[in-house]
Structure 1
Amino acid sequence: MAKKRQETKPPKRKTADTGDVHVEDVMDTKVKKKKIKVEAPIQMQTDEEKTMKKKKKQTQEQTEKTSLIKISDSTCGTEGKHEPDGEEDLSPEERRVLERKLKKILKKEEKKRLKEEGKTAPKTKPSEPIAPQQALDYLTCWAQNRKEWKFQKTRQTWLLQHIFNSEKIPDEKFPVLLQYVEGLRGGARDTTVQKALALVEESGQAPEDGTVQQRAQRAREVIQLLS
C-alpha cells in the first residue's frame, strides 16, 4: 500500500499589516534619530565657519590697513628716508592704488565712529557754478591780454548762449562781448543772428514784458553789428 502522503501545512503567516507597520515605525524612528544627530553638528559647523570667516576678514582688513599706513608714511616722508621692508618694490601706480584704499578705509571708520556717537558726517556744500566766471574771464583775457589768450570753444559757446541775458552777462561786459562777436565767422555767426531775429520778433508779441524787451534790445545791437 502506498503510504499516504503527509499533508504539509503551510507555515502560519504573520499578519502583514501588523508586521509591516511595526517595521516601518521602527525604521522611521531610526531615520529621524539619525537626521537629528546629523543635522545638529552641520548647523553648529556652519555657525562656526561664519564666525571664523568674519574673524579672518577683520584680521585681513587690519593687516591691510597697517600695511597701507606704512606705505603712506613712507610716501609722505622726506627724501632719502628708508622705506619699510618689502614696500620698496612697489611701483608708483601700486602705491596710488593702496593710498586710495587707505583713504576709503579711514573714511569708512570715520563714518562708523560718528554713527556710534550719534552724529552724522557734515555734508559738503555744493560748489557754485564756475562756468559763468570762467567764460567771463575768458572774455576779459581776450580784451586785455590777447597774447595770453587762447581760443576755447566751450567758453565761446557759453557766451553766445547767454549773450542776450543780462543776469548771466552783466551790462558792463556786453560791449566787450559785442567786439568779440564782431569777429565771428561761419555757423556761429549765422546762429547768433538767427537767435537775435527771433528775440526781436518775440518782443513784438510781449511789449509789457521787461525781460523780453531787455533781451530784444541786445538782439537789435547784435543784428546791427553783424548784418
Structure 2
Amino acid sequence: MRLLAAFLLGAALLGAEPDAALPAGDRLHAQALAYAEAQVAGRDGTYTFRVVTPPLLPKSPKGPLTFEPAHLSRPDLTGRFYVSFNAIAAGRTLGMVRVDMDGQWKGQLLRFRSALPRRAVPEPGQLEAFDFEGVPPAGALRAVPEGYRLRGPVIQGKVLVRTDLEAIPLINAGDPVRLALVDGDLSITVDALARSGGAAGDKVRLEMPTTRRMVQAVVTGPGEARVQWAGSK
C-alpha cells in the first residue's frame, strides 16, 4: 500500500489521474496516504502514516467515484487526525468523506540537561538533542528562538516546548522610554515613562512627561517605542 501511495503521489505531481480501475476504497486509502506525505515534504524528521479505519463511501448511482482533498484537521500531522475529501461522480459532488489517520514522527528534540529557574535564558550547553520516535509533545521545539526566556522553572530532562518560553520584555513598567512620534517622513523623539511592559512588537502604555497624557506605542527596542500620529499614513 505504501508503494501504491508513492505512485499516486508521483501521479498527482505530474497532473495524472489515479488508476480508475482500482476499487474506490483502495484509491481513497492510497490517496489519503499520498496527500498526508505531500503535506510534510521538506519538514524536519521522518513521518509515517496509516489509515486507522476504512472510510465509509457514499453510494454512487452515476458512475465511478473520484476524490478531491478538502480539509485537514490539524497541521502537525502527528497522532490522530483526519483528511476530508469531496466525493465526486459524473461531475457532481455527492458529499464529504472523512479518512481517519494516525501519524508518527521520528527525529531529534531538545531536553534540558539540568533544572533551570524561572526567567532564565536557556543557553546551548544547557540543552541536549535526543532521538525521538512517536507523537512529539505539543509545541515541541528544535531550537530556542532568540529573545525568549523561561516562563517558569523547568526540571532536568524536560522536553523543550513553546509554552516553556516567553518573550523577554524590552520595556518594563516604570522605565524611561525614548518615544518616536512619526507622521509620514517627519519623526520627533521625546522622553516618556512606561506604565506597562512589553517585548518587541508589543503595545505598551506610555505617559507623556509634561501633559501626563497616556499614549499607546509599539516597542521597537530596549527602552524604545514608536507611535503614529493621528491622521498619519
TM-score (norm. length: structure 2): 0.20
Looking at both structures, which has the greater relative contact order when contacts are Cα pairs under 8 Å and sequence separation is at least 6?
2
TM-score (norm. length: structure 1): 0.20
Larger Rg: 1
Q: Which is helix-richer, 1 or 2?
A: 1
